[in-house]
Structures are given as structure tokens and as C-alpha cells.
Amino acid sequence: MNKIFIVSAPSGAGKTTLVKGVTNRLGFIRPSISYTTRKIRDSEIDGRDYFFINKNKFEEKIKNNDFLEYQNVYGNLYGSTVESINSCLKGNNDVILEIDYKGMMTVKRSMPEAIAIYILPPDIDTLKERLQKRGEDEEKTIMLRVASSEQELQYAKYAEYTLINDNFEQALDSLLAIILFNKVEKKYINKWTKQILNLNKHVV
């Protein structure tokens, strides 16, 4: 059965880099590419990182009910389309959504079977430092993101899993482990658990 994974985090926690790490290593999982009205960054490619469209086209998609979820983030619109998700799920692929906490909550309401993973920064100061090093936002926007992140972190409790991205390689290994664990059917997990418990009884 195809799985839908959600990776959510405050801006600067490292979710984009982690998702790229997952899709580079696991051939069965594909990223759902979101639409946005914000300006494209120098390091980005249209159609790979996002589909960059203007506000009128985005609003047209809203009217056509194209989006599974969409949000206004600091004046820019972001949205995940049903078409993009369904396209990823074709051919026995799983899909991974990289969205903010509002998007996570929306998707979980409509798709409760989706598995949400929330990425936490080590602390707020580290988050601010990462945003400044990224060099993609003005200081005013960075301060808004940092202030918002304190509220956003409260939504981690609604995810099935939480990870602290203090060390990238360790966080990536943990994220990969979560995804691979959830690929195994529960009946096999229950069977293996019983076998391990029986082995422990014999050892004792």
C-alpha cells in the first residue's frame, strides 16, 4: 500500500535538505512539488523545487479546488495540488510532502492515514543563525520567522514522530529509519515482536 509522508518544520529547521536527502537515497519515494507565488531563488529550478506561478494563477487554482492544502506564508502563497500527489503515487511510489504546520494539520484532517514527521531545531538561537547564514531573507523577515517558529513548535505534538535536527547525518538516518519502518506491514512487525519476546524468555 502506498504511503503518504509529511515532513513539517519551522523555516530554517532543515526540512528541505532532509527531504532531498531522503529522495536521493530511497528510490520508492517521490516529493510532491508545491506551487508558490514567491520569487524564485538563485539556487532553485522551476519544476524541481517549486512550480513558480503568479497570484492570479494561484487563485484560479483555488477556485478550481486544485489544492489539497494551501497557505499564506509571510505574504506568499504555497499549495500542494491533488494532481501532484496522485502523480507521485502512481507506479507504486510513496509520496513525501514538505509543508508547514498549517499544511500538516490540513492534510491530516483529510488524510488521517498520512504519517507526519516534525523536524525541530536544537533551539531558537540556532534556528535564527541558520536563517541568517542562508542569506535568502531580509533581517525583518528573519525576525518574523523566528518569532513565528516559537508558536509553530507547539504543533509538533500532532505529528506521529518528532526529530531534532542537531546533526544533519544523524537526523537524516533517523528520518530514513522512520520511513523504512513504516513501509513494513504491521502484521510482520507484530510477528517479529512476538519472536523477539519469546527469544528473551528462553534467554532468561
Q: What is the pLDDT of residues 127-179, one digit of tens each?
A: 788 888 876 767 777 787 787 787 888 899 999 999 999 999 999 999 999 99
Phi, psi of 160 (to 5 degrees): -70, -30
Report pTM: 0.82
The predicted structure's pLDDT at residue 187? 53
Banded model confidence at residue 196, pLDDT cuts 50, 70, 90: low
Mean of pLDDT values over 39-66: 94
Q: Which amino acid is present at 49?
A: D
Buried b (16+ CB within 10 A) or exposed e, 172-190: bebbbebbeebeeeeeeee
Mean of pLDDT values over 99-119: 94
**Beta strand 35-36 pairing with 76-81:** antiparallel
- Domains, the chain: 4-31+92-203 (3.40.50.300)
Does 202 score more than 80 pLDDT?
Answer: no
